[in-house]
Structure 1
């Protein structure tokens, strides 16, 4: 009969996640993980498989949590458009706060996707899910008359994802908070201008 585990699995996963997050996958050793989790290397192997197996499990759980948080954030606002834009530019608690080291998924993509097909596949899935969520919000905003009905939801969603990722990169790159705030305002202004229907002067004539 297998001996029962004497540790809290979620606590171990959280400690391992934070260790990978701080050091990156390649620089994090099994010994680093053992010290962070309080488990011996053999116990880690026995419970979670290889270092890569452990990392992939953590990455999957992280992606699922972030996706759920993002969807909850953009759909909580009664205004589909406002909920989406506040999430995109990280305003008004529109999206979960990221730690200084940034997004674990984004960091993993940058470090591993070129060499690891599984990481690349996860990145593509996250992108596709985010694109679908944003496009759905944009369509709802159009139906409510918040933005121009002629705007292409998918193309606009692509642009918003690019803005979101750019802001996230700049937030963790050491740029001053005032400058980040200015670029957020500039991004929001640009976005609003691109989706707000321009009223032709003839339409204003009585």
Structure 2
């Protein structure tokens, strides 16, 4: 094949278009990959294999590996906040049930992937390779804590948690438990067992 023909062939190959659904899928798979393996252990080949996108599509849409990682972290954090707000803003769901459902959903996701929290699992690498994500994730935690504090404030006003428990401390306790859950799932990912521990935590937090 002549050089010009070879060049045209390569150009056609790199013109492969990908839909937004494919990019969404790539990010979803990237979240699982980085959570399970950690940023430092993930290669571009791993991303190609997991996402179904070729190298050119990844570099064109996201940039370097660190840029793809940033897209995954932002999607993960935004989804976490959105799901939590849906639960806590639904007037038909009690604070106790909102906490239980959020933790059940987290346990199911962690059990399926046999990995914990994307941010927790990559915090050290994040500080080294993508320091600008540090502030973003800090805001993520603060936003999450504020939503939970508001939820526990409502619970306290309704007498659902003890009067001597401060809502912000209850919110912190929730986040500490969820962090522990993300570590526990790596030791034992049995969903039934995880849910029993969640039930015990919820029962300890709320009055009947």
TM-score normalized with structure 2 length: 0.73
Would the alpha carbon gap of residues 188 and 8 (structure 1) be closer, same or farther in structure 2, given more than 3 Å must change?
same
Higher helix share: 2
User: Following TM superposition, by how much is the alpha carbon of 1:124 offset from its aligned partner in structure 2, in angstroms?
Assistant: 1.2
Q: Work out the CA distance in 1 between the residues paired with 2:53 and 2:200.
A: 48
Instruction: State the aligned residue count.
Output: 189
Q: Work out the CA distance in 2 between the residues paired with 1:51 and 1:77.
A: 42
Offset from partner CA, 1:168-193 (integer Å, 9 cap, x none):
32133226556545533432343236
Q: Work out the CA distance in 1 between the residues paired with 2:167 and 2:17.
A: 50
User: Following TM superposition, by how much is the alpha carbon of 1:38 offset from its aligned partner in structure 2, in angstroms?
Assistant: 4.1
Is the CA contact 2:126–2:134 (under 8 Å) kept in the aligned structure 1?
A: yes
Q: Work out the CA distance in 2 between the residues paired with 1:176 and 1:158.
A: 25
Is the CA contact 1:142–1:148 (under 8 Å) kept in the aligned structure 2?
A: yes
Aligned with residue 169 of structure 1, among 183, 190, 194: 183
Aligned with residue 12 of structure 1, among 4, 23, 33: 23
Q: Work out the CA distance in 2 between the residues paired with 1:128 and 1:83.
A: 22
Any unmatched runs of 5+ in structure 2? 1-13
TM-score normalized with structure 1 length: 0.73
Offset from partner CA, 1:115-171 (integer Å, 9 cap, x none):
242232232112101110111011112233333444311122111211222123213
What RMSD, in angstroms, separates the aligned Cα atoms of the two structures? Answer: 3.1
Q: Work out the CA distance in 2 between the residues paired with 1:188 and 1:33.
A: 38
Any unmatched runs of 5+ in structure 1? 197-206
- More displaced 10-residue stretch of structure 1: 38-47 or 176-185: 176-185
Q: Work out the CA distance in 1 between the residues paired with 2:57 and 2:200.
A: 51
Name the structure, 1 or 2, with higher relative contact order (CA <8 Å, separation 6+).
2
Alignment of 1:1-206 (within 5 A): 6-15=17-26, 17=30, 18-76=32-90, 78-87=92-101, 90-91=103-104, 97-98=109-110, 99-109=113-123, 111-115=124-128, 116-174=130-188, 179-192=193-206
- More displaced 10-residue stretch of structure 1: 37-46 or 129-138: 37-46
- More displaced 10-residue stretch of structure 1: 113-122 or 48-57: 113-122
Would the alpha carbon gap of residues 141 and 101 (structure 1) be closer, same or farther in structure 2, given more than 3 Å must change?
same
- More displaced 10-residue stretch of structure 1: 184-193 or 25-34: 184-193
Q: Work out the CA distance in 1 between the residues paired with 2:142 and 2:116.
A: 20
- More displaced 10-residue stretch of structure 1: 47-56 or 116-125: 116-125
Q: Work out the CA distance in 1 between the residues paired with 2:49 and 2:162.
A: 55
Q: Work out the CA distance in 1 between the residues paired with 2:16 and 2:121.
A: 32
Would the alpha carbon gap of residues 25 and 73 (structure 1) be closer, same or farther in structure 2, given more than 3 Å must change?
same
Offset from partner CA, 1:46-80 (integer Å, 9 cap, x none):
22211111110121012111211122234436354
